[in-house]
Amino acid sequence: MLVRATSAIAYAENTASGLIDDLRLLVYNAVHSAPHSTANEISRRPEFADYQIDSVRPRFAELRRVGIIAEGAERKDQHTDMLSITWYITNNVAQESDFEKLKARVFWGVKREGRVGKLYADKEQAQEVAGQAGLSVIKLREAK
């Protein structure tokens, strides 16, 4: 699959910036090398052998919150045969301030059709987005 030139440039800048920590960088590199794979498929790759799946999967949401990966189409996962979201890199270049979002103590999600969509560190922002679409807000977890 071809990667847009802007995404390739953003990938190069993001990997060289030093802003992405080790496990997030592993996930980011895996999404780049295997675009449109599911989180489960990526977490079973050899480079994640030393990590529990439960420690890898949250990195996808974090990188999505920063804006450097995005959800793709849904398809059946090769390992579970369940319908799963795929991932791809975006053309966004991360800034240090983007990673401040990940230090939030509480995350809020906008709930749609039983699934939680985008995550927010700011409850008011989540409520505003949810209110505009007639959706609800849910408190997801507290960061460690």
The CATH 1.10.10.10 domain(s) of the chain lie at 5-94
* 31-88 confidence digits (pLDDT tens): 999 999 999 999 999 999 888 888 888 889 889 988 899 999 999 999 999 999 999 9
Q: Tokens in use for 60?
A: 């996808």
Rounded to two decimals, the pTM is 0.64
5-94 topology per CATH: Arc Repressor Mutant, subunit A (1.10.10)
Percent residues over pLDDT 70 in the chain: 84
Separation of alpha carbons 52 and 44, rounded Å: 10
Token pair 């969509």 is found at 117
47 vs 144 pLDDT, higher one: 47
User: CB of 60 within 8 A of CB of 87?
Assistant: yes
Distance CA 140, CA 14 (A): 28
Token pair for 21: 């920590």
Helix (H) or strand (E) holding 24: helix 22-33
